Structures are given as C-alpha cells and as structure tokens.
Amino acid sequence: MTYGRLVLAGDAGHTVPPTGAKGLNLAFTDVRALIPKVEEFLAEPDGGTAALEQYSQTALDRVWKAQHFSYWATSLMHNRPNDDAFAYRRRRGEFDAITGSPEGRAYFADGYTGWA
C-alpha cells in the first residue's frame, strides 16, 4: 500500500464488502500501524522508504485475512440468483457446522473482531 513516499490507508488501499464489517476496523488498524512508521521515516527522511514499506507489509498481512473473511462471510450468508436447492442446503450445512461447534464459533468471532 505504498509507492515510494505515497501511502494508502483505509478504503483507499482496500475495500471489502460491508457484510464482513471489517472496513472501518481495517482503516483504524492501518492508521495505528502507519503512525510510528511515518514518525520513523520523518526522523530520517533521506534514509529511504523502508519504514513505509514495513507499514504496507504489516497492513497487507491483516488486509488479506480480512478480504478472505469478508468474502467468505458474505458467501455464507447470501443466496445467489442462480443457486439451486443443493447450493442452499450445502451452505446451510456449512453455517450449521460453524455455529454448532465452539471451534467454529471461535473462528467466526476472531474473524469479526480480531486481527488488531
């Protein structure tokens, strides 16, 4: 999410479907990761952009997990126009497997609220 000294954060750097409820959380965590790296960069502006690139790597590690979670949660909870009975029942089975076990619920909760 950097190009030289150009830095992106929040929706400018990545968008996710609102159904995953991750966008604003990602924006906040981007900025929290970015501030110390900007301070590091400004302390020695001629020292290169390594600090800004470290921000990008930190942010992207989280962003791609959230991309997956948002995509998956949206797919899990929405019908598609051409879905048949098999697709509906398969998705229902997936939903029941997630909500029916402590491990499934823990994964879902972690995806929604974790990865700070």
Ligand X SMILES: Cc1cc2nc3c(=O)[nH]c(=O)nc-3n(C[C@H](O)[C@H](O)[C@H](O)COP(=O)(O)OP(=O)(O)OC[C@H]3O[C@@H](n4cnc5c(N)ncnc54)[C@H](O)[C@@H]3O)c2cc1C
What are the residues binding ligand X (CB under 6 A)?
Answer: 10-12, 18, 21-25, 27
Nearer to ligand X, 16 or 52 (CB): 16
Helix ranges (H only) for 2-84 are 23-43, 50-77
Question: Which residues neighbour 12 within 8 Å (Cβ) at sequence distance 6 or greater?
Answer: none
| SS3 assignment, position 57 | helix
Least distance to ligand X from the beta carbon of 33, Å?
14
Task: Compare residues 32 and 90 and give the one whose CB is closer to ligand X.
Answer: 32
For residue 68, the minimal CB distance to ligand X (Å) is: 16
Q: In the complex with ligand X, which residue's Cβ is closer, 1 or 52?
A: 1
Token pair, residue 28, equals: 């906040």
Work out how close the CB of 100 gets to ligand X at its nearest, in angstroms, rounded to a whole number.
25
| 3-state per-residue secondary structure call for 78-103 | CCCCCCCHHHHHHHHHHHHHHHCCHH
Q: Minimum Å distance from CB 74 to ligand X?
A: 12
Contact 92, 78 (CB under 8 A): no
Nearer to ligand X, 3 or 88 (CB): 3
